[in-house]
Amino acid sequence: KSSSPDSFLGNEQYAPNHYDPDTAHPPAGDYDEDLHVQCPPHTTQRKLVAKIDLRVIPVLSILYLLAFLDRTNIANASIYGLQEELGLRGSQYNTALTIFFVPYIVFEIPSNILLKKLKPHVWLSVCMFAFGFVTICQGLVQNYSGLLATRFFLGVAETGMFPGSFYLIGMWYKRSEAQRRYTFFFSSTSLAGAFGGLLASAIGKMHRMRGYLGWRWIFILEGVLTCVVAFVFYFVIPDFPEEAKWLSEDERTYIQNRLRKDQGRSAAERSIGIRDVINVFKDYKIFVGGFMYFGLIVPAYSYAFFAPGIIQTYGYSRIQTQLHSVPPWAASFAFSMIIAYFSDKLKHRFAFTIAPICLAIVGFGILITVHDNHTLQYGALFLVTMGVYSAMPVIVCWFTMNLGGHHRRSVGTAWQIGFGNIGGIIATYSFLPDDKPDFYRTGYSICIGFICLSAASCIMYAVSVLWQNRMREKAPTDLGLTEFEKTEQGDMSPDYRYLL
27, 34, 50, 170 from 347: Cα distances, Å: 28, 13, 20, 16
45, 129, 172, 399, 432 from 57: Cα distances, Å: 17, 19, 10, 19, 37
CB-count exposure of residue 29 (10 Å: 0-12, 13-18, 19+): middle
Between CA 351 and CA 341 the distance in angstroms is 13
48, 54, 86, 285 from 51: Cα distances, Å: 5, 5, 48, 34
CB-CB contact of 356 with 390 (8 Å): yes
pLDDT value, residue 32: 56
Give the count of beta carbons closer than 10 Å to the beta carbon of residue 39: 22
DSSP-derived secondary structure for 201-224: HHHGGGTTGGG--HHHHHHHHHHH
- E strands within 307-441? none
**pTM to 2 decimal places:** 0.77
Give the count of beta carbons closer than 10 Å to the beta carbon of residue 427: 28
pLDDT value, residue 28: 46
Residue of 195, 229, 263, 247 lying closest to 54 (CA atoms): 247
Between CA 492 and CA 334 the distance in angstroms is 36
pLDDT value, residue 17: 42
Residue of 115, 480, 442, 416 lying closest to 306 (CA atoms): 442
Between CA 18 and CA 3 the distance in angstroms is 11
CA atoms within 13 A on the CB side of 97: 33
CB-CB contact of 487 with 2 (8 Å): no
CB-count exposure of residue 456 (10 Å: 0-12, 13-18, 19+): middle
Helices (H), 347-373: 351-369
At 242, the amino acid letter reads E
CB-CB contact of 102 with 155 (8 Å): yes
Name the stretches of the chain with pLDDT < 50.
Answer: 1-29, 266-267, 269
pLDDT value, residue 271: 59
Between CA 311 and CA 321 the distance in angstroms is 6
CB-CB contact of 301 with 388 (8 Å): no
Residue of 201, 89, 86 lying closest to 434 (CA atoms): 89
The three-point CA angle 318-322-328 to 5° equals 145
CB-count exposure of residue 364 (10 Å: 0-12, 13-18, 19+): buried
- The torsion angles phi and psi of 143, rounded to 5 degrees, stand at -155, 180
Strand pairing class (31-32; 37-38):
antiparallel
pLDDT value, residue 478: 62
Q: What is the pLDDT of residues 278-321, one digit of tens each?
A: 888 888 899 999 999 999 999 999 998 888 889 988 988 888 88
**Residue 447: CB partners within 8 Å, gap ≥ 6?**
298, 299, 302, 364, 430
Taking each continuous run of H as one helix and of E as one strand, the counts in the chain are 22, 2
Between CA 349 and CA 271 the distance in angstroms is 31
CB-CB contact of 17 with 261 (8 Å): yes
